[in-house]
Amino acid sequence: MISAPSFNQVKSLVEYMRAVPFDVNRKALYDARSLYRGYQPGHEETFASCYDMQVYRHFMSTGKQTALDEESLARALHDHGINTALGDFFTDHDPHLCLGIMGGHAMLRTDAMYRQISLLSKQLTELGFIMISGGGPGAMEATHLGAWMADREQQELDDALQTMAVAPGFKDAGWLDTAFKVMEKYPQSTYASVGIPTWLYGHEPATPFATHIAKYFENSIRENNILTLPYGGIIYTPGSAGTMQEIFQDAVQNHYLSFGTSSPMVFLGSHFWTQEMPVYPLLKSLMESGKYKNLRLTLTDDNGTIVTELLKFRNLSESFCP
169-194 pLDDT per residue, tens:
999 999 999 999 999 999 999 999 99
CATH of residue 212's domain is: 3.40.50.450
In a domain, 269, yes or no: no
How many whole angstroms separate alpha carbon 177 and alpha carbon 173? 8
How many whole angstroms separate alpha carbon 194 and alpha carbon 184? 19
Phi and psi at residue 118, to the nearest 5°: -60, -45
Number of domains in the chain: 1
In a domain, 46, yes or no: no
pLDDT value of position 290: 96
150 and 126 in contact (C-beta within 8 Å)? yes
In a domain, 68, yes or no: no
Amino acid at 125: T
Going by C-alpha positions, the residue among 158, 156, 203, 164 that lies closest to residue 180 is: 164
Quickly list H helices, 217-278: 219-228, 241-255, 270-271
pLDDT value of position 3: 60
pLDDT value of position 84: 97
Collapsing DSSP to helix, strand or coil, 100 comes out as: strand
Strand (E) or helix (H) holding 236: strand 234-236
Task: Please tell me the pTM assigned to this model.
Answer: 0.95
In a domain, 282, yes or no: no
In a domain, 247, yes or no: no
210 exposure class (CB count in 10 Å sphere: 0-12, 13-18, 19+): buried
In a domain, 116, yes or no: yes
Domain with 168 in it = 95-230
In a domain, 312, yes or no: no
Torsion of CA 263, 269, 275, 279, to 10 degrees: -10
pLDDT value of position 177: 97
Quickly list H helices, 93-238: 112-126, 139-148, 154-164, 175-185, 219-228
What does the pLDDT profile of the chain (322 residues) look like in tens digits?
556 566 576 678 889 999 999 999 999 999 999 999 999 999 999 999 999 999 999 999 999 999 999 999 999 999 999 999 999 999 999 999 999 999 999 999 999 999 999 999 999 999 999 999 999 999 999 999 999 999 999 999 999 999 999 999 999 999 999 999 999 999 999 999 999 999 999 999 999 999 999 999 999 999 999 999 999 999 999 999 999 999 999 999 999 999 999 999 999 999 999 999 999 999 999 999 999 999 999 999 999 999 999 999 999 876 545 4
Task: Kindly report the number of other CB atoms within 10 A of residue 137's CB atom.
Answer: 25
In a domain, 100, yes or no: yes
